[in-house]
Structure 1
């Protein structure tokens, strides 16, 4: 909105009002597109689960704390869709009315069994099962006694040109090293990771441009699809399709477990509608114009920048 493309932490207090009503106070946002998001996750899992779900040094204690946090937030914010109870056998029962699935968890929040589920492959863990009940992707960052940090778990079925298998186990700076414009931030990487774990919950937003609304833009396309078909960065001035791809990212620290949950919710805004708002059109064009050559390359806009700007400025 300031007419510049910037790479910065941009973290704001969780619950900040952005004009979306109660949704601004929810970590997990559920809307009328749930079935579409769910299907995209199931397709990704069926392709190859390890392509989208990875863990590294993800301790039982941290896994249990993250599972408990997710369950409590889902049932607190969306009681019409989710509930959980303790059974007499020291077992937790979590139910989703959206998927009709019931998860049985032990006292440590480890997955024991699933009822009314036909997903393939079967859920491999509590995190895998819970991630499949929502419209967000999930990552977990952990911190060691020596102060080091690493990506401990990632369930990423809606990747925006990055891969779980390439990032798992890496620290904050290593994860973001390919991102153009991250140099200053990466010099403070450890401090930022510590903030994620130690401070109160925060929210931030990131944006880019896409020529389709496919949620899954893994760098490697599924079998039988070419990279050009898959990548969503091929602007056609004769048949213009352009969208703002926006990520709402929530950071929820668990300092007592030296960990933080990081959620990613993907949204799209049709740029043909942005064109009709003179202020938004001006701001978006200015932001694209302000991108460095490195940022244009990273965002896949080198070849299409001029044609995109021409199209946006057509009235």
Structure 2
């Protein structure tokens, strides 16, 4: 079974987005201030424990973002760690959960090292990598890397071609980048990456869509299906899981506060709108994350997940 097939098995699957903290809740904000951390810099003290918990409880994927530098004006450092280094670590502390990037900013990176880093994670995780990619949307980053912001669309296309061919066309025939992935890497795009919908639908394997309501997703998924057919459509929810299971849904930016029964209804609506995987982002969550993750695993995941698909190891990671 391919990595993308594992991601979408059962119709709709549920994962989590790192960092696994809740700094954007009122109590989390108090802890952040007491610790002297700038806004947007997460508490990662329990990240490994919570990643293992997500794996053990049956969440389908762990998603990490690529934020090379912290910009106080933007106020979001993601999970702090460099994305491929971190995925290599997570590959070692988890067993089954898929490992996704949401998303690597290709034009900022040295292309040959991107190939080597991605394949290394794929081997170390025994084929669990989902490579989400993007062109980037923070103009401040490009001058720091000495890259041309206006040319990022063209650089993105060049690097996608390298990821598909695992080489650049001008290389000597005997030159290789090792290791090679265990299987062709699934490439999911965040947004349009400065491309046309037709190009993205033809060249990419899935779409990482911005959070939204079921109505938003119905419109976007229809556009994606027109360009890409039945390729996976993935999105995220900034979730604050209320303690009462019947607490009504109250929308906030990129997500909602809701009890577990309302969450189940929202996820069914997302699935009907065309979403095939949802990553849960917990930074607004007011309850302890371990408690929240366990409740979702007990009551929500069984509503959507088929039996966890068998993992076929195509090569040893050693």
Instruction: State the TM-score bracket (shorter-chain normalisation).
Output: under 0.3
Looking at secondary structure, tell me which structure has more strand per residue: 1
- With the length of structure 1 as denominator, give the TM-score of the two structures: 0.27
Greater relative contact order structure (CA < 8 Å, 6+ sep): 2
